Structure 1
Amino acid sequence: MKIVFLSINKLLCLVLVFFCFSGLGFSQGKFIIENKKQTDKVKFKLINNLIIIPVEVNGVKLSFLLDTGVSKPIIFNFLNVSDTLKIKETETIFLKGLGEGESVETLRSRNNVFKIGDAIKLNQDLYAVYNSNLNFAPRLGFPVHGIIGFDLFKDLVVEINYSKKILKLTTPEKYTYKKCKKCERLNLEFYNNKPYINADVAINRVITPVKLLIDSGGSDALWLFEDNSLGIKSNNKYFYDFLGHGLSGSVYGKRSKARSFFLRSFELNNVNVSYPDSTYILHARKLKGRNGSLSGNILKRFNIVFDYRRAKITLTKNHYFNEKFQYNKSGIELAHNGLRLVQERDNFIGNDNYGNSQEQSGTRIMINPQYKLSLKPAYTIVELREGSPAEKAGLLKGDVILSINNKSTYHFKLQELIIMFYGDSGKRIKLKVERGDKILTFEFRLENLFQ
């Protein structure tokens, strides 16, 4: 049995480090686009700054996270998906991830058929992870069955149009570069099959060059590894927070702001930056010269062309570019946690006494209200920042949120609820929660710790 290492940044932010090949490591098998134009467009969903694409594996339609920081495709086997996929030629290995837990058992499978739009690969390796904790669906409110990255990017030119939510795949030999006055074209560097880019960040009034992993599988903006000798350290305004859940446990660190972030001529201001505790990122820091990760909340502000064959990346500003960098001001992390049986009223207007209503002098009198029972999503507090407004108000991990500002939560998607916690400082939040057999009400105001 072999030991390999998995590193996961932020919530849903994955960085696999278990294939230590030099260069790009192109294999004999590759993705081929099966049409005359040698190009195809695939629609994707953008959820919490993450790209979710449709992927067909051995004839089964699934949803995958597109992650530039992943070396080989992974299937999350918490629903025994691999049984449906009929995977074969398996080998057991172990993965070690962020957090302080133990390695987990993983099944490696060879010669699987992957299809993304018109792009197909006939002999793809994949890894089935048997760990119920590695399940992104509750945090995203959308089913995610796996992750794919390097194997797609190395074979095709991949254009990510965040504005239109379209992925364009092109055979490298058929791709033609166009002149672009408003774009920036930068060189990529590769280590262990992962793309790195050079940038500059202004911290404490000092501009510092940094080498960053490009991590489309991370929902944060910027992760930096603190290093006093390089001047990479948080300013005095920060708070300690849950940053995500790794394969081997939770990851914590500082949340702060960087005055500016530069990708050549492109400048972003007041950027969110996280500094994970070194305890949780030992494997990620093994690459000498790496200073952190560049993730979805910055990447989505550009339409991007990844060309691994030519080691180039092209960035063009889109309508997200000037969007303010917000953060969760409540201290609450929510997850979809099963279903609740909800009683809803159905009112009918009629002239009988069988579950309908009658009108008398302009007043509706309910004779026998009818009800229907429906299964609705339940949203549970899974992380609660110490000292946050929500914690001070008396909320606890495990509380099931029934309503927010007097509106039942089952009317909202998970991401619609979460965005309410990113509102303006001072905004009032009223929550009704279920705690055991009790229904409780709490109220607090959002707090900006960086003012």
Structure 2
Amino acid sequence: MSNLTYSQSKFVIQNKKGSNKIKFKLINNLIVIPVEINGVELSFLLDTGVSKPIIFNFLNVSDTLKIKNAEKIFLRGLGEGESVEALKSKNNVFRIGDAIKLNQDLYAVYDANLNFAPRLGVPIHGILGFDLFKDLVVEINYSHKYIRITEPNKFKYKDCKKCEKFNIEFYNNKPYINAKVKINNKQIPVKLLIDSGGSDALWLFEDDTLGIVSSNKYFEDFLGHGLSGSVYGKRSKIDEFSLNRFVLKRANVAFPDSTSISFAKKFAGRNGSLAGNILKRFNVIMDYRRATVIFKKNGYFKEEFSYNKSGIELAHNGVRLVKERENSVSNDYGLNNKTGENGTKIIFDTGYKFSLKPAYAIVELRMNSPAQKAGLKNGDIVLYINGKPTHQFSLQEIMYKFYEDDGTKIRLRIDRGGVVLNYSFVLEDFFK
């Protein structure tokens, strides 16, 4: 294991308490926090699985940030594609709440495909991990959606009989934890990357010699986007996942294709990743200086492990012009006149307004899924869901409808190349 390395510059909390609480948004099990860089307010994923801050430069953010002292490098991550080109920039000023760092390196990636915003439904300008965690103790309160950052010398541990404490190991400045999985009634110890930047519950790397194998009950699916492209693999269930006395039964698991994780498996001891859909079930204290992580169950712990039963992945796809009815009270004579109980005549002027609304497109469609068998296709723009216009919902609210109970009927009206079509299908629980 490599040792942790510390630069002369670090995050320092600019208040007397040496501690600060910062609210975050929890979107698809991912933590989105406000980060100010060189005076510009941005939204970042808090990702324990990255060693350096990365900005996705699809909006020419670097011009606004006045990125300087840049050198060209190549970054490699999960996915089937090649390394991506990036500019490494030094001497950037980062502010997270009351914490400031005056000399922060960052990497600006110019690949327009590396844009998480369409799939999450909110602007995401970059990802941040190790540089914050190495300097400060970070408490992640998933249940109340805030992080608390504290100077290590000001942090006081409390006695907690309901907590489980683990040692963290580090490899390439990324944290690993030892846990256990139960597969085919066999308890198997596993070493997992703690990955708050992953929205799934658990990823495991198949290994016959260890017994880490998918059950016969699985389906092939899109698993997510890595730095080097899309990741595909199997989705299934395992008997149990356990962090000492905390046991989660019938947990979701994904087994990524070997081609997508060749880079990740360079650390030979790694068996997979512990990600957001399990992490959110705990309030977590990450203390890199003491190489410690503490878990405490929260209200999400007993939440049933569900999954997308439709086979549809949606993403923002620009905007569309929507005609909406507009009712306004008027003193003028109109067609729709009503008389109130007190004899007052109220005249409604019924007109229309046009406004730009988000468009949601199907970007991934699982083979043999209910939606695919119904006839839906990649590129379809979803206009209505169950009789209601999709622009009335956030992307996450629509996606949650695909996680509902087995047998739930979904009705979609879609636009396919200017032709409006209606489809319906029933959600099917593959693992029932």
Question: Do both proteins adopt the same fold according to a TM-score greater than 0.5, normalized to the shorter chain?
Answer: yes
Query: Any idea what SS the aligned residue of 1:142 has?
Result: coil
Query: Any idea what SS the aligned residue of 1:319 has?
Result: coil
Partner of 2:28: 48
Q: 1:402 aligns with which of 365, 370, 383?
A: 383
Query: Any idea what SS the aligned residue of 1:92 has?
Result: strand
Partner of 1:336: 316
Q: Deviations over 1:118-167 (max 9, x none)?
A: 11000000000001111111111111111100000000000011111111
C-alpha distance 372-25 of structure 1, shift in aligned 2 (>3 A)? same
Partner of 1:206: 186
Partner of 1:357: 336
Are the aligned partners of 2:331 and 2:346 in contact in 1 as well (CA < 8 Å)?
no
Residue 28 of structure 1 and its aligned partner are, at CA, apart by 1.0
The letter of the residue matching 2:129 is G
C-alpha distance 179-439 of structure 1, shift in aligned 2 (>3 A)? same
The question of 1:442 aligning with 2:423 is answered: yes
The question of 1:83 aligning with 2:63 is answered: yes
Partner of 1:303: 283
Are the aligned partners of 1:271 and 1:325 in contact in 2 as well (CA < 8 Å)?
yes
Q: Deviations over 1:57-100 (max 9, x none)?
A: 00111111000011000011000111100011110011233333
Q: Which runs of 5+ in 2 are unaligned?
A: none
C-alpha distance 366-329 of structure 1, shift in aligned 2 (>3 A)? farther
Residue 360 of structure 1 and its aligned partner are, at CA, apart by 8.9
The question of 1:253 aligning with 2:233 is answered: yes
Partner of 2:79: 99
Residue pairs, 1:191-230, within 5 angstroms: 191-230=171-210
Residue pairs, 1:370-389, within 5 angstroms: 370-389=351-370
Q: Deviations over 1:227-264 (max 9, x none)?
A: 00000001111000111123333211000001110000
Partner of 2:407: 426
Query: Any idea what SS the aligned residue of 1:230 has?
Result: coil
C-alpha distance 337-174 of structure 1, shift in aligned 2 (>3 A)? same
C-alpha distance 361-55 of structure 1, shift in aligned 2 (>3 A)? closer
Partner of 1:12: none
Q: Deviations over 1:145-203 (max 9, x none)?
A: 11100000000000011111111011101111111110011111111100000000011
Equivalent-residue separation in structure 2 for 1:199 and 1:359 (angstroms)? 69
Residue 352 of structure 1 and its aligned partner are, at CA, apart by 4.4
Partner of 2:260: 280
Query: Any idea what SS the aligned residue of 1:279 has?
Result: coil
Residue pairs, 1:144-155, within 5 angstroms: 144-155=124-135
Are the aligned partners of 1:351 and 1:358 in contact in 2 as well (CA < 8 Å)?
no
Taking only aligned residues, the RMSD between alpha carbons, in angstroms, comes to 1.8
Residue 359 of structure 1 and its aligned partner are, at CA, apart by 3.8
Query: Any idea what SS the aligned residue of 1:229 has?
Result: coil
Residue 351 of structure 1 and its aligned partner are, at CA, apart by 6.8
The question of 1:61 aligning with 2:38 is answered: no
Query: Any idea what SS the aligned residue of 1:410 has?
Result: helix
Q: 1:416 aligns with which of 397, 404, 416?
A: 397
Equivalent-residue separation in structure 2 for 1:157 and 1:413 (angstroms)? 33
Partner of 2:373: 392
Equivalent-residue separation in structure 1 for 2:151 and 2:302 (angstroms)? 33
Provide the identity percentage: 67
Query: Any idea what SS the aligned residue of 2:58 has?
Result: helix
Q: Which moved more, 1:150-159 or 1:94-103?
A: 94-103
Equivalent-residue separation in structure 1 for 2:301 and 2:196 (angstroms)? 16
Equivalent-residue separation in structure 2 for 1:365 and 1:430 (angstroms)? 38
The letter of the residue matching 1:56 is E
Are the aligned partners of 1:349 and 1:357 in contact in 2 as well (CA < 8 Å)?
no
Equivalent-residue separation in structure 1 for 2:302 and 2:249 (angstroms)? 9
Partner of 2:169: 189
Partner of 1:294: 274
The letter of the residue matching 1:322 is K
Are the aligned partners of 2:24 and 2:147 in contact in 1 as well (CA < 8 Å)?
yes
TM-score (normalizing by structure 2): 0.96
Equivalent-residue separation in structure 2 for 1:52 and 1:430 (angstroms)? 31
The letter of the residue matching 1:379 is Y
The question of 1:117 aligning with 2:97 is answered: yes
Residue 350 of structure 1 and its aligned partner are, at CA, apart by 5.4
Query: Any idea what SS the aligned residue of 1:101 has?
Result: coil
Residue 349 of structure 1 and its aligned partner are, at CA, apart by 5.5
The letter of the residue matching 1:201 is V
The letter of the residue matching 1:425 is D
Partner of 1:134: 114
Residue 277 of structure 1 and its aligned partner are, at CA, apart by 0.6
Query: Any idea what SS the aligned residue of 2:274 has?
Result: strand
Are the aligned partners of 2:46 and 2:196 in contact in 1 as well (CA < 8 Å)?
yes
Residue 50 of structure 1 and its aligned partner are, at CA, apart by 0.4
The letter of the residue matching 2:102 is L
Equivalent-residue separation in structure 2 for 1:205 and 1:89 (angstroms)? 55
Q: Which runs of 5+ in 1 are unaligned?
A: 1-20
